[in-house]
Amino acid sequence: MGALFVLSVASLEHYRFVSTSANERISRSLDIAVEHTNKVFEEIEILFASVEGITRKQSSESLKADQEHLHEALEEMIGKAPDLRAIWLFDRSGRPLVTSSVFPAPDLNNSDRDYFIAQQGR
């Protein structure tokens, strides 16, 4: 009976150690994930400000007319943002004006997409 008691106590202590170690690892991983997520959102905010800076007060027509230059500028911005893949600028009807990934911008209609609908009226 004494050996069973000692084995039970040792098993309980081992369980506590493993549980504590796992919780610490999860906590560290969560801290790293939160830090990375915050950096990505900061990167996006900076990117939005930069895009706004080069497109501010331009009409859809002027953006389309300057598409090659803007494509190159957006492509360069994305090259400095490893967590992001592309920037697309759309007109109010859902048609792409300029992209960082494709030149010239393809003739698509994205007005039925959730991400486009969510931005309407803003």
Residue 87 to residue 18: CA distance in whole angstroms? 45
Confidence of residue 24 (pLDDT cuts 50, 70, 90): very high
* CA quadruple 69, 71, 74, 75: dihedral sign: negative
1: pLDDT strictly greater than 70: no
Cis bond before residue 104 (omega within 30° of 0): yes
Rounded to the nearest 5 percent, the helix, strand and coil shares of the chain are 65, 5, 30
Span 72-119, pLDDT tens digits: 999 999 998 888 899 999 988 899 999 999 999 999 999 999 988 888
Residue 92 to residue 121: CA distance in whole angstroms? 10
35: pLDDT strictly greater than 90: yes
Over the chain, what is the mean pLDDT?
A: 90
- Predicted structure pTM score: 0.69
